[in-house]
Chain A
Amino acid sequence: MQKPILKLKSLPITYLLKPEIMNIVNILSEIEKVDGEIYERLSPRRAAMKQFYGFGAKIAAAAIPLSLGSMFNKAYGQSAPVAVENVLNYALTLEYLEYYFYRTGSGTNGLIPAGPGVGAIKTICDHEMQHVNLLKGAITGLGKTPVSFTAANFDYTAKGTFPTVFSDYKTFLAVAQALEDTGVRAYKGQATNLMSAPGVLQTALQIHSVEARHASHIRQMRRAPAGGGLTAMKPWITGANDSGVPQVDAVYKGEENTTQGGVNIRNLGYSERAATEAFDETLTMAEVNAIASLFIK
C-alpha cells in the first residue's frame, strides 16, 4: 500500500504541508486499516488517484468533501450504480441465507456431532457473517440501502422438502452443499456485471473463491461416516447433480458442460468426468433467485 506515498513524493512540498491534504491522506490511511483494498477500489489503474492529487491547489478546504465523495463514488462503481447495487444486494441476500443457515445449525443442540465438524461449521458461519457485513458496508458506501433479513425470514426446510434439515446432520450437510455450490455459481455469474467497478469485482472474486473452499470442505464432510458416508463424493462437481439429492437438480443445471470458449475439452483428450470437473459453471441471477426463493418465506 505504498501508492499514495509514491504520489505524494511527486507533489510539491507546499501541497504536502497543506493541512487539508494531510487530512485526506489520514482519512485514507484510516480507511485502509479496515479496508486494505481502499486504494485499489479508489482506482485500480491509479487514474482517479492521480486525478485527485492532480487537482493540487484547486482543492480548497470547502471543496474536499465533494472531491472525496466523487472519488468514493468512482471507487464503488457509481458509473453503473444500478447494476452494481443490484449485484451487491443479490449477493447480500445469498450471504444472509447462508449465514442464518449455519447460525441456526450451530445453535441447534445435538445437530453437529462433537469433533472437527463443529469447528468447520463455525469457520464457515464466521465467513458468511463477514461477507454480510462487508456487503452491507459496500452498499451503504454507494449511498444505497442494503436489503435486510433475519433468521425468521428463512425456511430451510424449503417448504417441507427437507423437514429434518436441523435435526439430521446428513440432511443439514446436503442442504449446506447445495447452498455453497449455488453461491459459487451465483458470484461467478455476476462477474461480468461488475467490470465497470474493478474494486468491487475483485472483492466479489475474493468472496467467490472462499465459497468454493467451503463447498469443497462440505463435500468432504459428507464423505465421512457421520456426514453420510458418501465415499464417491468429491470436492469438485462431477457431471451435473452429483449431490445425491434429486430435489436440488436446479443447483447443478448445466454443470455437465464440456465446451469452454468454443473448445470442447473432450476433444483435447479428456474424459467427460475430467472435462466437467475442471470447470465450474455459472448460474444467472434468475436461476439463483429461483433456488433461493425456495428457502425464503
Chain B
Amino acid sequence: MENQDILESGIQRRSFLRYAGAGMAVVALTAAGCSKDNDMVDPVTGAVDLGSGDIGILNYAYALEQLEAAFYEAVIKTPFAGMTETEKIFLTDIRDHELAHRDFFKAALGDKAIPALEVNFSAINFNDKNSVLGTAKAFEDLGVSAYNGAGKLIKSPDYLTLAGKIVSVEARHAALIRDLIENGSFANMEVVDANGLDVARTPKEVLAIAKAYIKTEITANNLPS
C-alpha cells in the first residue's frame, strides 16, 4: 500500500531531483529563467505542487474552486436540455460565486498561486440534466467536506474566517442542487450523520476524488495534516 502510494505520487520524482540531483535541477531552473510561479510545477512530470502551510491550504482551495468554476462555466455555456428559467438563474448565480471564489484566491495568493489547472470533464454529459446535476451535487458536497476538513489545518485566523465565509455558501449551493434533484434531500443521511454533522474530508481524500476531473497532476505531500 505504502509502496503503491509512493510509486503513484509525483513527489517521489520530485524528491529524487531535490535530494539526489538537487544542485543540477536548481541550476537548470535558474538558467532557464523560470519565474517563481514555475517552482510549483515539476519540470519533469508537469505535476503542480500545492505547497506547504497556509499557502498550501489556500492553493488547495484555489484548485477546488478552479474545478467548480470551470464546471459551471460549461454548464451555463451549454445548458442541458429542458433547463428551466429558475434553474438557469440559480446555476448562473452559482457560476458567478465560484468564479468569484476562484479569482479571490488567485488575487490573495498573488505570486504564490498555483497555475491554471486543466480540467477533464469527459465523463460529464452537459446536455443531460441528470449528468450535470449529479456532478454538481458531487462537487458541492465535496467542496463542503474539503473546507470542513481543512479548517483545523489553517494557522492564520483571517484565513480560517475566510474559509468559513466560503464554505457556508458552498453548503447553500449543495442544498439547492440536492433539492433540484430530489426535493427534501438538502441535508439527508448521505451528508449528515446521526450526530447532525456534515462530512469532513482530509486533503488527501478530497484530491483522490477530485483527480478524476483534473487533468493536471496535483501533488499535496507538503500540506499540513
Contact = CB atoms under 8 A, between A and B. Distances in A.
Interface string A202-229: 1101111111111111001000000000
A195 B175 CA distance: 27
Interface stretch (B45-53, B111-119, B144-152): B144-152
Contacts of B157: 192, 195
B41 interface: no
Most buried by B among A203, A260, A275: A260
Interface string B127-171: 000000000000000001001110110000111111011111111
Contacts of A213: 171-172, 174-175, 186-187, 191-192, 198
Interface string B87-107: 000100100110111011001
B197 A217 contact: no
Given A44-B152, A235-B176, A207 B100 contact: no
B78 interface: no
A215 B169 CA distance: 10
Contact of B172 (A36, A188, A236): A236
A234 interface: yes
B158 A209 contact: no
Contacts of A116: 183-184
A198 B171 contact: no
A235 B196 contact: no
A116 B183 CA distance: 8
A205 B196 contact: no
Contacts of A44: 152
A191 B93 contact: no
B162 to A, nearest CB: 5
Nearest to A188: B164
Interface stretch (A10-18, A60-68, A122-130): A122-130
27 contacts: A45-B225, A120-B186, A130-B194, A133-B195, A184-B168, A191-B151, A192-B157, A195-B157, A205-B200, A206-B197, A206-B199, A208-B168, A209-B171, A212-B169, A213-B191, A216-B172, A216-B179, A216-B186, A217-B179, A234-B90, A234-B93, A236-B172, A260-B104, A263-B108, A268-B100, A268-B107, A270-B99
Interface of A: 35-36, 44-45, 116, 119-120, 123-124, 126-131, 133-134, 184, 187-188, 191-192, 195, 198-199, 201-203, 205-217, 220, 234-236, 260-263, 265, 268-271, 274-275, 277-282
